Structure 1
Amino acid sequence: MTFLARPLLFAIDAERAHGLTIDMLAAWGRVGTPLPARPPALPVTVAGLTFPNPLGLAAGADKDGRAIAGFFGLGFGAVEIGTLTPLPQSGNPRPRLFRLTADRAVINRMGFNNGGLAAALPRARAANRKGMLGINVGANKDAADRIADYETGVAAAAPVADYVTINISSPNTPGLRDLQHGPALAELLARATAARGTTPLFLKVAPDQEPAQIDEIAKAAIDARIDALIVGNTTVSRPGLTSPNAGEAGGLSGTPLAPLAAQRLRDFRSATGAAMPIIAVGGIDSGAEAYARIRAGASLVQLYSGLVYGGPSLPGRILKEIETLLQRDGFAIITDAIGSD
């Protein structure tokens, strides 16, 4: 099916193709997806939650929680839906999603397009879960008080999710990344932690950070007792691209992001003194890349753009490759490999 579907999907607009993929996965989930094999060596516990394996679906793939069961059926140990905002919003004008096929990359400037918390949370509550469900929350573009939007989102999502992620890392909502620094960050984390109850709270940050900013975020996250950092999101940099769409505005994801994302993982692990779990995102499209991030200190990894080019069998292939690499290196369980480099 992958070989048949990909040429058809690549023949149409990227956003329309994504919508059709979500529809297919949602339908597959409704009829009952097969339970993926659960390799006994791969469970990971983070923030008191036991993930059946370290591979998660990054936010942005299933913004409105329409295909949760379908994505779990691909083998993911965690599915993170969103970004969800308190009120529905249409996002930025189309076209806003571009394939960079020669680079195995994607550029998007979606702008938190979603149907809002009230529409998505009932779907999340009713979904058939085969792993951990994360809900990623953000602020509406025109919100008078963006921190209040995060507070609202965390409070609404916490009773439904296994964990909630505060997303202040998107480059496609003007001014959003300003919340990653200074008094605004401290206030955001204080109000969000008060709103989350007992649900673990994760913080998603951008890869486009200077050393002083990394240190500041790490200290603020530790002080606020954030349960994990997700490092990172798309980048506004353009490292050596060759595709025709390389000049499009927005955030870049996919294979070209891997070196920067891997470096930021190392930077944040150093800045936190390895005192906080880190979830690595960016350019992960193989078991070897996922395993390298784990050895570099990631407790969990996430992917999204890799599915565009690797297809629905990619999660299963990655997990098998990680198992093989663990055995090669003499590790009995995945947690033995975390930070081993």
Structure 2
Amino acid sequence: MKKKVVLFVLVMLLASCSNPIEKGKIKKVGLLVPETINDQVWGTKGYKGILNIQNDFNVDVYYREGIESDYAIKQAVQELSQKGVNLIFGHGAEYANTFNEIANKYPNIHFVSFNGEAKKKNTTSIKFEGHAMGFFGGMTAAHMSSKKKIGIIGTHSWQPEIKGFVNGAKFEDPQTKVKIIYTDNWDDGQKALALLDQLIAEGVDVVYPAGDGFNIPVIERLKEKGLYAIGYVSDQAELGKNTVLTSTVQQVSKLYDIVARKYAEGELPSGNLSFDFQDGVIVMGKFSPLVDKKFQNKIRDNVQKYKKTGKLPS
């Protein structure tokens, strides 16, 4: 159930950094999330991101949950503007269009969203380049599948990590079959579990739940069935070391800090920015002890080569 919060929460400075970074252009920072900061995945990562900014730059930060509609976004921005906020993160693609629409009205605010199109001089859209992380996840899935049948529960067909996962699996073992199905919704856990049942019925033994709103219940179901998962967005090894073979991790809080630093230094460009392994914001998670050390080292070596050359194994 979605948690709606109608009041802004000012996160007070309970701890200060002994050597805070120069604020530069940053006055106050705001965060809008479509769901909740307590989901332990995407929303929580955004919340940790602004807490890092609070600590590093010694500024007040605000957040608001359940902000999804165009009207709600506009109201939230208006209130944040009145509080003196001049850097706002919209924690998802749903914010990009509204930010573009209202950017001229708030020339002293820089608007940051995810996975959208930034069209105004004070708007920026950031995204994780997911293809490579998916590739290494696919390699791991194919390596560990005894039935040579692996599955992806995706959210949308445009997700680059899905294509990367398929390519990685085929590189590791061309005989591996990959079944892809979509929820068409980031948060539809019931549909994801129904689709998982279909995959299991087809003999799939490793699944990549590529949706942060449903990956936890999917992994829990796989654990019950004695099957395997590749974690998504967070390092999900804690959900079961004998279930989660590894994870494709997006370090959202670190990306928030990078963006804030650029803004503080007057170097945050408008337009669309991409970040990958080379930027230190995407990593592979812990490996299950079930994954042999030789293969773990193979993945680590390939990741290092990709970081240096930008080229995946072929």
Normalization by structure 2: what TM-score?
Answer: 0.34
Larger Rg, first or second structure (1 or 2): 2
Normalization by structure 1: what TM-score?
Answer: 0.32
